Amino acid sequence: MTATTPDQSAAPATSALRCEGLSKSFGDLQAVKNVSFHIERGETYGLLGPNGAGKTTTISMVCGVLARDEGEVLVDGQSMSSGSVDVKSLIGYVPQDLAIYPDLTASENMRFFARLYGLSRNDANSRIDEVLDTIGLSDRAGDLVKTYSGGMKRRLNIGLGMLHRPKLLILDEPTVGVDPQSRNAILENVDQLSGEGMAVLYTTHYMEEAERLCDRVGIIDEGELKAEGTRRELVSLVGEHDRIQIEGAGDLEAGVAAVRDLPAVREASVAGQVISLIVNEARNTLPELLSTITGTGVQVRSIDVAEPDLEAVFLHLTGKALRD
C-alpha cells in the first residue's frame, strides 16, 4: 500500500472520503486505474459508468472488502484497510447484489447487523423502528424476508446500510430492478440522509439518478475516472450549449434581432411561432434574454430549456453511449 499524502489544497483533510490513486487488477484485466476523488460531509457523489466500468471494484476497495493494489483510502481522515475496525464503523454499505438473510425476518436481519456494529439494545430497537419506517417496511418487519417482493428486499438491503448512522453511506446501484415508485422512495431516502449531513457515495448507470441526486458526479469507464465535477461543470466540459425554444406572439423577427447581439447567444432563428436559440449557460442568460425579447413587444407563451445531459457528456468523453 502506498500512502500518498492527501493534497491539502484540493479539500480539507477531513473529507468524509478521500481516495488517492486507487488501482486494482484481476489477472491481466486492470479493473480500476489510478482513481482519485473525494466526498465532503453532506455531499452526494455519484460514480456514473456503464456495466463493467469498475464501480463495484472501486467501492469494494473503499469499503475494505477488496485489497487494493495501489492507492490510499481515507475515511474521515483515517486510513482504511481490511483490519481497520474503527474506520469500518464509519461506513454504511449497500451492496449491489442483495445481501440479506432470507430465512430471517427484517427485524432479525437488522438486529443482527446492529449487534455487529455494537449498537446497544435500546439504541438498536429505536433505530430499527426508525429505519423500518424510513424504508416503509414497518408492517412486514416480522415476516421472513423470503416472503418479500423484490422491491421490498431492495429496500431492506438499503435499510441495513444506514442502520448504524454511518458518516459515509455507500450505495452500489441500489435501484436496479426496482419499480419507479420504490425507486422514488429510495432516492428520497438518500436525499434526506445527505440532508442530515451524511456523505453519500452512489454508483449508478442511470444518468437521471446521477443528475437528480448527486452534487458531484465522477464519470468512470474502463476503470478510469474520465472526468468529475458538478453537473454543470461536466456539461460545460463538453463545450455544448443549451438550447432554448421560446413560443411567442408578435414580431418574433424583431425579438430575434434584439437578442442576437447578447454575448451569450450563439445562434438565433425563428421558425413559425417559435424562436430557437443556442446559448451559453441558459440559466444565467435566461432573465436577460426574456427581458430583451419582451422589450421588443413579443408576448412569450412558453419557454423550453433543454440542457445537454450527462449522457451527452459520457458520449463526448468516451465516444460511446452510456447504455447499450
Partner 1 sequence: MLRVAVAIAMKDLRQRLRDRSAIILALVVPFALTFIFSQSLSDVTGGEVTFDYAIADLDGGSASQGFIGALRELEQEDVVSLRIATTREQAINLAGEGDVQASFVIPADFSEAVATNEAVMIEVFGNADAPIGTTVAESMAERFLQEVRAVQASIATAAGNLAEPDFDALATRAAEFPNPITVEDVSASRKELDANTFYAAGMAVFFLFFTVQFGVTGLLEERRDGTMRRLLVAPAPRSAILLGKLLTGFVLGVVSTAILAVLSTFLLDADWGSGVGVGILIVAGVIAAVSITALVASFANSVEQAGSALGIIALVFGALGGSFFPVSQAGGFIQQVSLITPHSWFLRGLSELQSGGEVVDIWPSVLALLVFTAVTAAIASRRLGKAVQA
Ligand X SMILES: Nc1ncnc2c1ncn2[C@@H]1O[C@H](COP(=O)(O)OP(=O)(O)OP(=O)(O)O)[C@@H](O)[C@H]1O
Question: Pairing mode, if any, of strands 216-221 and 242-249?
Answer: unpaired
Cβ nearer to ligand X, comparing 23 with 105: 23
99 binds partner 1 (CB under 8 A): yes
Q: How far is 208 from 314, CA to CA, in rounded Å?
A: 13
126 binds partner 1 (CB under 8 A): no
DSSP for 50-96, written as a single string: -TTSSHHHHHHHHHTSS--SEEEEEETTEE--TT-HHHHTTEEEE-S
C-alpha cell at 163: 442502520
138 binds Mg ion (CB under 5 A): no
Return the one option of partner 1, ligand X, Mg ion, none that residue 26 interacts with (CB less than 5 to 8 A, by type).
ligand X
92, β-bridge pairs: 169
Return the one option of Mg ion, partner 1, ligand X, none that residue 116 interacts with (CB less than 5 to 8 A, by type).
partner 1
Which of the stretches 10-18, 77-85, 183-191, 204-212 binds partner 1 when contact is defined by CB under 8 A?
77-85
Cβ nearer to partner 1, comparing 111 with 231: 111
239, β-bridge pairs: none
Return the one option of partner 1, Mg ion, ligand X, none that residue 197 interacts with (CB less than 5 to 8 A, by type).
none
Cβ nearer to ligand X, comparing 115 with 323: 323
| Contact positions vs ligand X (CB under 6 A) | 26, 29, 31, 49, 51-57, 96, 205
65 binds partner 1 (CB under 8 A): yes
Q: How far is 252 from 257, CA to CA, in rounded Å?
A: 9
Q: Find the shortest distance in angstroms from Cβ 139 to ligand X.
A: 31
Residue tagged 466526498 (cell numbers): 39
Tell me the site size for partner 1, rule CB under 8 A.
30
Residues 23-62 that bind partner 1 (CB under 8 A): 60
Which residue, 271, 273, 269, 276, is CA-closest to 250? 273
7, β-bridge pairs: none
83 binds partner 1 (CB under 8 A): yes
Residue 139 DSSP one-character state? G
146 binds partner 1 (CB under 8 A): no
Q: Find the shortest distance in angstroms from Cβ 54 to ligand X.
A: 4
Q: How far is 110 from 107, CA to CA, in rounded Å?
A: 5
